[in-house]
Amino acid sequence: METRIVGNSGLAVSALGLGCMGLSYGYGPATDKQNAIGLIRAAFDKGVTFFDTAEAYGPFANEELLGEALQPFRDRVVIATKFGFQQGDSTKGLDSRPERIRQVADEALKRLRTDRIDLFYQHRVDPNVPMEEVAGTVKELIQEGKVNHFGLSEAGVASIRKAHAVQPVAALQSEYSLWWREPEKEILPTLEELGIGFVPFSPLGKGFLTGKIDENTQFDKTDFRNVVPRFSEENRKANQKLVDLLGELAMQREATPAQVALAWLLAQKPWIVPIPGTTKLHRLEENIGASSVELSAEDISQIDDAFSAIPVQGDRYPAHLQKRVGN
């Protein structure tokens, strides 16, 4: 697979990473551990060198899983993890106090079975801790050799600039896909100006853009999508038009909807590295196949025109979580 450099940081990764959250957390019961290890190792065998996790996924179980799965080839992969919640629990409050960041780093190193975190993101901006202090703490961790690069997730432009002035930010990880294009307004131009790479999460629209979810899909009771307005039965029905359209565009290009959704992201900027997540080997292969789907400028404008004509129904987060993004 093509290698991409994340902004000006020099961090080199496969053009598509693997989002590992869903193997432990968020979308129903965790995948059986041996199967999950097999999937992660298969991704590496097929050219993926960029693996995304967080203290909060589990909490802790996902980092432990990656630690075990990646150990045989640790030096040939880039591991990204995240800090920022009280006790690592995303249902609790935010916590980016310097002492907490240091504690997360030390504990994550053990769980990941490594001596350095390649990319350490703040999961959400903490309104109670000045960004300069957060960036200063990560800068110290970099000086100590525990962390290689600093990242932010769902941060707003002002926070990105403040952080970058203290410790250059290698990457921003925020939601971006054919059905969430908000980052195009202010975020992408700012990242381009500052030389920061972009890692779109939920690049497949949490599965919706693949065409495998419809109004009749029943999610497990622990599945996060049960509380996402965009995934209410009514909104799934309304948003089906998007997927039908993507299906047509994909068919014309002899690709699948998931592949077109990923290829569209890859075509936006050479410093964009999407991290689709899956628990299934055949879908991993399908998603990796997107890296060989070439979309021309004409394809992109056709897709853009078609999508802009269809309004997306429903917010991407419930109100209490919406407050945590864009700060």
Ligand X SMILES: NC(=O)c1ccc[n+]([C@@H]2O[C@H](COP(=O)([O-])OP(=O)(O)OC[C@H]3O[C@@H](n4cnc5c(N)ncnc54)[C@H](OP(=O)(O)O)[C@@H]3O)[C@@H](O)[C@H]2O)c1
Residues acting as catalytic residues? 57
Stretch that binds ligand X, among 8-16, 18-26, 126-134, 157-165 (CB under 6 A): 18-26
The minimum distance between CB 24 and ligand X, in angstroms, equals 9
Q: In what side-by-side order are the strands of the sheet with 147-153?
A: 18-19, 50-52, 78-83, 117-122, 147-153, 169-175, 197-201
Q: Does 286 bind ligand X (CB under 6 A)?
A: yes
Residue with token string 């075509």 = 267
Strand 117-122 and strand 147-153: pairing?
Answer: parallel
Determine the residue with CB nearest ligand X.
19
Interface of this chain with ligand X, residues 150 to 209, rule: CB under 6 A? 153-154, 173, 201-207
Q: Does 276 bind ligand X (CB under 6 A)?
A: yes
Q: Which of 40, 78, 166, 258 binds ligand X (CB under 6 A)?
A: 258
Closest C-alpha among 32, 72, 69 to residue 53: 69
Alpha-carbon distance of 72 to 225, in angstroms, equals 34
Q: Which of 111, 146, 236, 283 binds ligand X (CB under 6 A)?
A: 283
Residue with token string 């980052």 = 183
- Which tokens go with 132? 């300069």
Alpha-carbon distance of 38 to 18, in angstroms, equals 13
Q: Does 312 bind ligand X (CB under 6 A)?
A: no
- Which tokens go with 254? 């002899």
Interface of this chain with ligand X, residues 120 to 149, rule: CB under 6 A? 123
DSSP-derived 3-state class of residue 52: strand
Strand 50-52 and strand 78-83: pairing?
Answer: parallel
- Which lies closer to ligand X via its Cβ, residue 119 or residue 303? 119
The minimum distance between CB 79 and ligand X, in angstroms, equals 12
Contacts to ligand X by CB under 6 A: 19-22, 27, 52, 123, 153-154, 173, 201-207, 210, 212, 258, 275-280, 283, 286-287
